[in-house]
Chains A and B, each alone.
Chain A
């Protein structure tokens, strides 16, 4: 017989401490979770009021004007929306076929160990900071484009308006190429997972009917994984739209809408990065913030679509 029995009041206080511990944990974690909620709301709010001056000045014309003239204090978003959309679209044109091809190889063809190793390496590409892509863009990509690729392009497809005009290195085209390299790992990574998640018996059913491996892959496996693949494309698109440093270092920073990809241009993120600290007037700053608001809206929509598509493909594939 050792310790005295626990009295009722002692047990009550132990229970109270337990509950207090739980309460504290709950409250603490709730506060943190709520603060994220608040910060996001605050962010939207700050963007909104920061853009006030510009919105009141220009109204809806802001997204229809193609002049950006700080001297005359006329600001329009069109050149940047144009540049953002064009570079992202061209980047997708390049990266989707190549990325999907690689994803197919990694999921259907390669031995699992090789597939894992290569995927690991490709995912490292996604870890390279944007500014490093910009650095390589300026000193490696642009000279290569100038010396080899663009002359070839112009000699074969130069009649097309998108490849017309002189090429001085920095351009929408260069920015698109850099972007495509930056977003291809996302397409590969997500598509590969979606493809791997396609049930084995789908492949076996097709093969059992006498289909070749390519026929099985292209006509049964890929369609099965369609939604997830579209999701990966939207994800890559959202990434491309918001990319700042790599783009601003090779795009040319000229706020004009032009037909040729070889001409310099600009994107929303790029112009904000470039001109924010140079903005001399309140209206100027407000216009830049309003551009940020436009970009924010675009990326929210695209990201939302991406998640919808990936999540509805199946629980295992959601990321």
Chain B
């Protein structure tokens, strides 16, 4: 008996939304995949993030917006702990993935489950095939001919298969910028991540390439949870289910995208949206 009520309490607290300022109740079908609880981040003695508490819902696209230097990229990089590659940094607070404490997990495992796509396309100096296969091989996820199947599947998911299927052995650097970025997405997808983090993935791309990637994200969210940092508000409005607004290392507001853009609660949010700064 007591275990049931305990679990109910736990489920109940997970489903609480600490920051919805709109007052609208969360849909009961939404489950939280990844969340942070009073997350702070320090570069040496400089505090870059201040007690950010945020939930990312499964199979939804969450956008993080805010002016330059507001901490949204820093925040994203703590989620897969790639921030740890820089010395003299410290994370305080909790990050949980499916309820498990991320900081206690083995970091290479975490990074397989939480993938990342970077601002500038960064394909390895290998062939297209070997780029996609890299994560698969290194994690031992498939062998021999089944690698080929995984590569094809990933390229299809990234909407790149048709364009490269005849030149898989060519160098990845021969592709255009937009294609390279989709390659990087395919590469990240090949290890079957549960969460995909995208750090301003379209900022180095032209509008057509950007549109292709945005369309891609809609199809991807069925299989994974997506978090996208963007400095382009229109992009957030186009693709995201939920949006969080960051300013000077703090999460100011987090809600359904419509609410953030049409009816924000915080004045800072409204100022940013209407272009008074940023």
Contact = CB atoms under 8 A, between A and B. Distances in A.
B134 to A, nearest CB: 6
Interface in A195-218: 199-212, 215
B147 to A, nearest CB: 14
Contacts of B108: 207, 210-212
A298 B139 CA distance: 46
B85 A204 contact: yes
A209 B124 contact: no
Given A111-B87, A203-B85, A204-B118, A210 B135 contact: yes
B31 to A, nearest CB: 24
Contacts of B124: 202, 205-206, 220, 223-224
Interface in B103-145: 108-109, 111-112, 115-116, 118, 120, 122, 124-126, 134-135, 138-139
Interface in B140-185: 184
Most buried by B among A202, A211, A223: A211
A211 to B, nearest CB: 5
Nearest to A211: B138
A199 B184 CA distance: 16
B125 A210 contact: no
A215 B87 CA distance: 20
A211 B115 CA distance: 12
B191 interface: yes
Given A205-B118, A205-B122, A205-B184, A210 B134 contact: no
Contacts of B118: 201, 204-205
A13 interface: no
B269 to A, nearest CB: 30
A219 interface: yes
Contact of B188 (A201, A203, A209, A220): A209
B208 to A, nearest CB: 24
Interface in A106-144: 111
A208 B117 CA distance: 9
A201 B135 contact: no
B85 A207 contact: yes
Contacts of B112: 209-210
Contacts, number: 68
Given A203-B85, A219-B134, A219-B138, A209 B191 contact: yes
B266 interface: no
A209 B111 contact: yes
Nearest to A202: B122
Given A111-B87, A203-B85, A210 B122 contact: no
Contact of B191 (A202, A207, A210, A212): A210
A260 B188 CA distance: 53
Q: How large is the interface on B (under 10, 10 to 19, 20 to 34, 35 or more residues)?
A: 20 to 34
Interface string A218-240: 01100110000000000000000
B250 interface: no
B72 interface: no
B82 interface: yes
Interface string B39-58: 00000000000000000000
B26 to A, nearest CB: 30
A210 B82 contact: no
B60 interface: no
A209 B184 CA distance: 11
A278 B80 CA distance: 72
A210 B109 contact: yes
B276 to A, nearest CB: 33
Nearest to B84: A207
A202 B82 CA distance: 12
Nearest to B87: A111
Most buried by B among A203, A205, A220: A205
Contacts of A207: 82, 85, 108, 111
Contacts of B120: 201
Contact of A211 (B87, B135, B188): B135
A205 B135 CA distance: 10
Contacts of A203: 85
B109 to A, nearest CB: 7
B187 interface: yes
Contacts of B187: 205, 209
Contact of B134 (A111, A206, A212): A206
B82 A215 contact: no
A203 to B, nearest CB: 7
A309 to B, nearest CB: 15
A204 B82 contact: yes
Contact of B122 (A201, A215, A223): A201
A208 B116 contact: yes
A211 B135 CA distance: 7
23 contacts: A199-B122, A201-B120, A201-B122, A204-B85, A205-B116, A205-B118, A205-B124, A205-B187, A206-B138, A207-B111, A208-B116, A209-B135, A209-B187, A210-B111, A210-B135, A210-B138, A211-B108, A211-B135, A219-B134, A219-B138, A223-B124, A223-B125, A224-B124
Given A205-B184, A207-B111, A211-B134, 9 more contacts: A201-B120, A204-B82, A210-B108, A210-B135, A211-B138, A211-B139, A223-B124, A223-B126, A224-B125
The 8 closest A-B pairs by CB, nearest first: A210-B112, A209-B135, A208-B116, A201-B122, A210-B111, A211-B138, A210-B108, A205-B122
